[in-house]
Amino acid sequence: MALSKTLSTLLLAGGASYASSLAVYQDHTFYTYTPSDTFIGFSQGVSAKCEGSTVALEAMSTCPEGDRLCKELKSLQGTELEFSGIQSNMKMIDQLVSLPRPTEFDASAWINAARLIGEEQANLSHKEEKLRKEIERKKQAFRKKAPTQQALETTETCNKELELTIPYGYVSFSTNYEANIVDDKEVTVTQNLSIVNRSGVDIEADTAMFYYRSAHQYVNPIHFNPWIVSKYVPKPKRVYKKSMMRKESADMPMMSEEMVMGSIVPRSAPLVTYEDAREYKIQNLMLPSAGLPLEVKVITWKAPLDCEVRAYPYVNARAFHVCSFEPKFQIDANRWKITSNTEVINENAAGEYRDSKYNLYTKVEEDIKIIRKPIVLKERETGIFGGTARKKDGFTLTLTNKSDKAKTLTLIDRIPTSTTEEIRSKLLSISAEKKVNYKMLNNGQIEMKIALAGNERKKIEVLFEISYDKDLKVNY
């Protein structure tokens, strides 16, 4: 269907017009419109209904000349025809060269003929290779826009609403987010839809709906069953004679476990569930089958923001910026583009719901260097008191601010924690030249609030003790 046609001007025989609509689900796409002719597009696996009645579809011998994809296909076919002509010329020259030589030999004429033939062969070979690449380029371009080169049409004209059911994957969409952070106090969130049409059918819809759920859902009927308590009666054991079992196994085909148990248990269709009804609506959507994403803004909103620099040295020595906020609308995807006014901070930032808020991991803090080292063996102390062994252990953290500006960060580390009373672990000390502000949390987690002046280097020592029965071996 050509994009130049305006659906609002298509009139039915009775003088009424129908609005066009598009509904994109995770498994199917439904496109309803009023056609001006029988041409559908360059698609496959499509089914059609005219006013609820199924309409047969068939391949077309030629496509409408005014259609955009038809023009691209004819351009491809023209290049293929030119390529075939080049190959025919090359074959003809090869045949001429293989003809028997004349009895009289004119060296000058043969030299000129050889030169001309060689030049023509080189010219044709160059054109052949160039056209071969052009054909492959045009084929790839067409495959991105349509699944087939075969034009499709309805076998009869539909003067009313025609509904096309388009298979999964031909029309798809995804959601993405942008976060604009200016002063670490407020975030402006913009949600976008990225829509791709490669169905081979150009779509013009007055109303388009996009659903994060399947159109075909099967819910297995469930009814209440009482939970019965009864007197236990042991089931009699079945006794099989070995000779009889061997005979049965020889005479009968292999049986499944379900058949051995007495009957085949019917398997219900898989239950598809979707917990969040996420759906989007777009008015007056022009969606050509171009294979390129169409970006559409859905909504923009603002929220208060709390940002800090964090580090988990026991996992990764790099510090990073994380910003937290309470979303006004549910967030459907966890990949973000982070900006600060017009500056791009991160094209592929991660986000997640965490502790009733949403966290954005915006960027790496390049100015802070962290080195975590275990305390060397000679500094460890192990003693036995009664029947209990006590082992002192620990690690050092060296933090360097490479920037001239002051930096603050929340550093989260850990000491071993035990799940049994036979092994105990406790923090002995956290020491540095200046007092470290820290909290000891559950499961051995240590949270430190650290301030670093410009170009400051700070070393922190963490000591802990593991106590356990002297006969035990521990691992951490």
- Asked whether the predicted pLDDT for residue 97 surpasses 60, the reply is yes
CATH architecture of the domain covering 368-469: Sandwich (2.60)
Q: Is the dihedral of CA 25, 29, 30, 34 positive or negative?
A: positive
Residues 6+ apart with CB under 8 A from 289: 41, 42, 69, 145, 146, 197, 198, 199, 200, 201, 202, 203
- Asked whether the predicted pLDDT for residue 297 surpasses 70, the reply is yes
Q: Is 405 exposed, middle or buried (0-12, 13-18, 19+ CB in 10 A)?
A: exposed
**Entry pTM:** 0.70
Q: Which residue has the higher pLDDT, 12 or 144?
A: 144
Contact 392, 381 (CB under 8 A): yes
Contact 370, 376 (CB under 8 A): no
Q: Which residue has the higher pLDDT, 192 or 273?
A: 192
Q: Which of 158, 151, 191 is nearest to 68 (CA)?
A: 151
pLDDT of residue 249: 42
Contact 58, 155 (CB under 8 A): yes
Residues 6+ apart with CB under 8 A from 8: 17, 206
Residues 6+ apart with CB under 8 A from 270: 218
- Asked whether the predicted pLDDT for residue 295 surpasses 90, the reply is no
Read out DSSP for 186-220? EEEEEEEEEEEE-SS--EEEEEEEEESS-SS----
Range from 5-9, 61-65, 155-159 carrying the lowest mean pLDDT: 5-9
Count of beta carbons in the 10 Å neighbourhood of residue 293? 16
Q: Is the dihedral of CA 427, 429, 432, 434 positive or negative?
A: positive
Mean pLDDT, residues 163-190 taken together: 93
Side chain identity, residue 306:
D
- Asked whether the predicted pLDDT for residue 391 surpasses 60, the reply is yes
Q: Tell me how far apart the alpha carbons of residues 207 and 213 are, in angstroms, rounded to a whole number.
A: 18
Contact 136, 32 (CB under 8 A): no
Mean pLDDT, residues 6-21 taken together: 51
* 189, two tokens: 């969130």
- Asked whether the predicted pLDDT for residue 74 surpasses 50, the reply is yes
pLDDT 10s digits, 269-281: 222 222 344 788 8
Q: Is residue 31 very low, low, confident or very high in pLDDT (cuts 50, 70, 90)?
A: very high
Range from 104-118, 248-262, 288-302, 323-337 carrying the lowest mean pLDDT: 248-262
Question: In the chain, helix, strand, coil percent, each to 5?
Answer: 20, 40, 40
DSSP state of 288: -
Q: How many CA atoms lie within 13 A of 28 on its CB side?
A: 13
Contact 393, 464 (CB under 8 A): yes
pLDDT of residue 378: 52
- Asked whether the predicted pLDDT for residue 65 surpasses 80, the reply is yes
pLDDT of residue 110: 66
Range from 247-261, 390-404, 413-427 carrying the lowest mean pLDDT: 247-261
| 124: three-class secondary structure by DSSP | helix
Count of beta carbons in the 10 Å neighbourhood of residue 61? 5
Q: Is residue 381 very low, low, confident or very high in pLDDT (cuts 50, 70, 90)?
A: low
Range from 67-76, 163-172, 195-204, 212-221 carrying the lowest mean pLDDT: 212-221
46 Cα distance to chain centroid: 25
Contact 91, 97 (CB under 8 A): no
Mean pLDDT, residues 12-19 taken together: 52
pLDDT 10s digits, 119-137: 888 888 899 999 999 999 9
Contact 57, 46 (CB under 8 A): yes
pLDDT 10s digits, 214-266: 888 888 888 888 787 766 677 777 776 554 444 444 443 433 333 333 333 33
Mean pLDDT, residues 144-172 taken together: 94
Q: Which phi and psi (to 5°) does residue 72 adopt?
A: -65, -40
Q: Tell me how far apart the alpha carbons of residues 275 and 179 are, in angstroms, rounded to a whole number.
A: 25
pLDDT of residue 271: 24
Residues 6+ apart with CB under 8 A from 223: none
Sheet holding 203-211, edge to edge: 53-55, 47-50, 162-166, 29-33, 21-24, 203-211, 279-287
Read out DSSP for 247-264? HHHHHS----HHHHTTSP
pLDDT of residue 246: 46
Q: H/E element holding 136? A: helix 107-145
The Cα diameter of the chain in Å comes to: 119
Q: Tell me how far apart the alpha carbons of residues 430 and 396 are, in angstroms, rounded to a whole number.
A: 10
Q: Which residue has the higher pLDDT, 257 or 40?
A: 40
DSSP state of 62: S
Range from 11-25, 129-143, 351-365 carrying the lowest mean pLDDT: 11-25
Q: Which of 280, 296, 271, 285 is nearest to 330 (CA)?
A: 280
Mean pLDDT, residues 90-109 taken together: 72
pLDDT of residue 100: 67
Mean pLDDT, residues 419-428 taken together: 89
Q: H/E element holding 114? A: helix 107-145
Rounded-to-10 torsion of CA 167, 168, 171, 173: 160
Q: What is the mean pLDDT of the chain?
A: 83
pLDDT of residue 383: 66
Residues 6+ apart with CB under 8 A from 232: none
Mean pLDDT, residues 33-55 taken together: 94
* 433, two tokens: 């030249």
Range from 77-86, 269-278, 335-344 carrying the lowest mean pLDDT: 269-278
Q: Tell me how far apart the alpha carbons of residues 341 and 150 are, in angstroms, rounded to a whole number.
A: 48
**What percent of the chain clears pLDDT 90, i.e. is strictly above it?**
55
- Asked whether the predicted pLDDT for residue 36 surpasses 50, the reply is yes
Q: How many CA atoms lie within 13 A of 462 on its CB side?
A: 28
